[in-house]
Structure 1
Amino acid sequence: MNSMNRGAKIVVNTCMRIRRGEKVLIITDPPKMKIAKTIADVARERRAEVTLICMPVGERHGQEPPEPVALAMTYFDVIIAPTTYSLTHTQARLRACRAGARVATMPGITEEMMQRGAMLADYREVARLTKKVAALLDRASEVEVKTEAGTDLKFSIRGRKTHPDTGLFHRPGDFGNLPAGEAFIAPVEGTGEGKVVVDGSIIDTTMGRTEITIEKGMAKTISGSSAKKLTRMLNKVGPRARNLAEFGVGTNPKARLIGQVLEDEKVLGTCHIALGDNSTFGGRVKAGIHIDGIFRKPTVKLDGKLLMKEGKLLV
């Protein structure tokens, strides 16, 4: 038996709940082809109509897919995307959801991740916790985040809607990552002030720390271990790439900090911010890039009330 079959069955049967006769599109690129084929085989066991498209590897997370792929995405009931870079925060994904597709993106997924860790979580439990956190964020107007490592950040979420990445994508228009497990929201543009010390992972490395100073909702200065690489990526796109795009809370108890942002940002006891595009989940900035940075053991206050204390969720 293929060692990834257990994870693939969770994707197909539990997370997407693929049914007989549904039109399923698997989008992949050459490095992720083995994973894509495993998922496709399991979907065919459900008597789904499966199409697999292999596209060239992109340049960065949030880059739009080739136009033929984007057009095809609007014709399917279910889309699963094990790719090197993320299609989550793209207009193509947004249009597919508006057309009624259920979409699971799996950027950076590895064969090892299909066999253990976050992908094998009890997604009913993940969904329960994620929805609780999302409901509390939805009732709040201001977020304050601090860590012993030096993170000290405030921003407004007034009028913004939280997206609960539950891992259960059963209704038309549902979308999220697999593995899943986060509640995330787009801060109001221009309101972020303070600094973030990324001591979990960023750009798929857990080594060192990266400090990002935020002024008026934009990353003004970047220093530390990943500063040169991050700055180069942001500068290549332009000023909008520095937008404080996202705040997220990890909710998957099986997730591990392994240097793969897809799993790292789901770790229970962590939070993360992202820079760049937030136009696909309630924000106003289109940037064509989306870079997450994870930090450990945060204390989070919503309108002055504790949501998390030193990494422990109080829900």
Structure 2
Amino acid sequence: MTINPYAGSPFSYVAAPAAAPYSIVELMPGVRNLCEYVRLEAGERVLLLMEHTVDPVVVQAIAAAMAFRDADVRILSVPPFSPGGWDKGAWLDIETAAFREADVVISGTWWGEVHTAPLFFDQIKARSSRFLSLHMTATAGALLTGGRLPAEVFYALLSRTLRQLSAARTIRVTSAQGTDLTFSGLAFDPDPGAMRPGDWRPFPYGGANFWPTGTEGVLVVEDCTVTGVPEDTLRLTFEGNLVREIDGGTAAEQLRRYAPEGYYMRHGLFGLNPKVRVAGGTQFEREKHAGSFYCGIDGLTGGVPVTTGPGFAHCDCQFDRPTVHVDGELFIDRGRLLILDEPEIREVAARFGPPDVILDDNPVMILPRRYTGAGAPELVVES
């Protein structure tokens, strides 16, 4: 049996613990960073697209901060989205119409846009909205932890990561449970900074996203979208970026049913945010923690990968303590992101407080509010 110490994360917002009303005070540093990240301007039309089950304190914190900045805020409470296209016929005309009229969209959904055709990335890019996704992270815990990291520190980590990884020929990911994957033909999301029209970004900010054309080896599932933590060893064998075999009892059968046509490796992400919580966090919080790794396999369409739309069987696999080599050089050592110790990263962190505090990747320690970026320089967008 695979054992994961963080397997107790909730399965939807309805299962997430509610925050005490006065905790809104402690959410404001994270919400301030959210507003700055989305480049909110006075007078902009803001849509808060929130599932019925999202904690009202979280909705109130975001809405109040944006109203304080003189934005024109609308809150739309919607039914939860279904994963993997299970409800392809769901009526989403109201959500789609509201999204098209907004300058800024803050999406508090559990399964996120990758599972929904009317709000998929191609639709977002075709509009002028700036779309910020709290994918499984519309929680007090996410705003209190990962949301507090100053954006400038995250972008220093991302820039340093992309310098090394974008030029890599191969990236190898291994784990104590038996995963041994080698990725090649890599394309990384440059993520140039604060948001622009047509952009989709997750919050809290968290990682370096990439798309491989080659994936070879074995993935042993520790925790994934479809099965959670499997009872038996669940092993996926990759050749040529396709899943060729799925072995592992009941969980293997669940995974096959989810995508009867099979799977391919769609993308991966290396977590870079040292303040994202791990203990008690959802899968899409933990993926952003510095030193973590996750990858998304997606369903084949007509037996082939189709990347221009949702695969309607997206399954993300989370690894909390991987080891990663980039062209043979150690990059993550059993969950420890080595660049956290580099002088250039510590120099940026020192602008906000003690680097030993800002960059400490203890997954349960909350960053003190005076180190969260108040009065920090404005995030510069690259041209």
Q: Give TM class, smaller chain.
A: 0.7 to 0.9
Indicate the residue corresponding to 2:107 in structure 1.
Answer: 81
- 1:99 corresponds to which residue? 127
Q: Which residue of 1 aligns with 2:36?
A: 14
With the length of structure 2 as denominator, give the TM-score of the two structures.
0.69
Residue type of the partner of 1:43?
M
Which of residues 185, 195, 205 is equivalent to 2:210? 185
Aligned to 1:246: 267
For residue 188 of structure 2, give the secondary structure of its aligned residue in structure 1: coil
> How much has 1:229 moved relative to structure 2?
5.3
Who is 1:129 aligned against? 157
Question: Which string of whole-angstrom CA distances, capped at 9 and with x for unpartnered residues, describes residues 156-186 of structure 1?
Answer: 234x23354x9x6432233221122111111
Cross-structure match for 1:3: 23
Q: How well do the aligned residues superpose, as a CA RMSD in angstroms?
A: 3.2
Write the letter of the residue equivalent to 2:70. R
In structure 1, what residue type is equivalent to 2:178? Answer: G
1:306 is aligned to 2:326: no
Q: Find the aligned partners of 1:220 and 1:233 in 2 and give their Cα distance.
A: 13
Counterpart for residue 141 of structure 2: 113
Q: Is the 8 A contact 1:8 1:39 kept in 2?
A: no
Change (3 A) 1:38 1:62: farther
In the TM superposition, residue 307 of structure 1 has moved relative to its aligned partner by 2.8
Alpha-carbon distance change, 113 to 272 in structure 1, aligned in 2, over 3 angstroms: same
Gaps of 5+ in 2: 1-20, 340-383
Question: Following superposition of structure 1 onto structure 2, how do residues 189-268 of structure 1 map, counting pairs within 5 Å?
Answer: 191-199=214-222, 201-203=223-225, 205=228, 210-223=234-247, 228=250, 231-232=253-254, 235-239=257-261, 242-257=263-278, 258-268=280-290
SS of the residue corresponding to residue 125 of structure 1 reads helix
CA contact (8 A) 2:30 2:144 kept: no
| Residue 54 in structure 1 maps to residue 89 in structure 2 | no
Aligned residues: 304
Q: Residues 259, 183 of structure 1: CA spacing in aligned structure 2 closer, same or farther, 3 A cutoff?
A: same
Q: 2:84, 2:205 → 1: CA distance?
A: 17
Measured after TM superposition, the shift of residue 197 of structure 1 is: 2.5
The 1:184/1:14 distance shift into structure 2, 3 A limit, reads same
Instruction: Tell me which moved more, 297-306 or 37-46.
Output: 297-306
Deviation at 1:51, TM superposition (A): 2.0
> CA separation of 1:114/1:278 partners in 2, compared to 1, >3 Å: closer, same or farther?
farther
SS of residue paired to 2:152? helix
Secondary structure (helix, strand or coil) at the match of 1:129 reads helix
Distance 1:41 1:230 in 2: 45
Larger Rg: 2
1:141 touches 1:303 (CA, 8 Å); kept in 2? yes
| TM-fit CA distance, 1:47 | 1.0
Contact 1:277–1:285 (Cα < 8 Å) also in 2: no
Q: Hey, which of these two has a bigger chunk of strand by percent? A: 1
Deviation at residue 266 of structure 1 after TM alignment: 0.7
Once the two structures are TM-superposed, the CA of residue 48 in structure 1 deviates from its matched residue by 0.8
Q: CA deviation at 1:308?
A: 2.7
- Answer 1 or 2: higher relative contact order, Cα 8 Å, separation at least 6: 2
> 1:184-223 deviations in whole A, cap 9, x for unaligned?
11111xx211112233x33395686643322332334445
1:144-163 paired onto structure 2 within 5 Å: 144-158=172-186, 160-163=187-190
Deviation at 1:269, TM superposition (A): 1.6
Kept after mapping to 1: 8 A contact 2:276/2:286: yes
**What's the % identity of the aligned pairs?**
23
The TM-score with structure 1 as length reference comes to 0.82
Alpha-carbon shift at residue 15 of structure 1 (Å): 2.3
What secondary structure does 2:113 align onto? coil
Shift of 1:259: 4.7
Flag the 1:278–1:266 CA change in 2: closer, same or farther, 3 A.
farther
Map of 1:40 onto structure 2: 63
Gaps of 5+ in 1: none
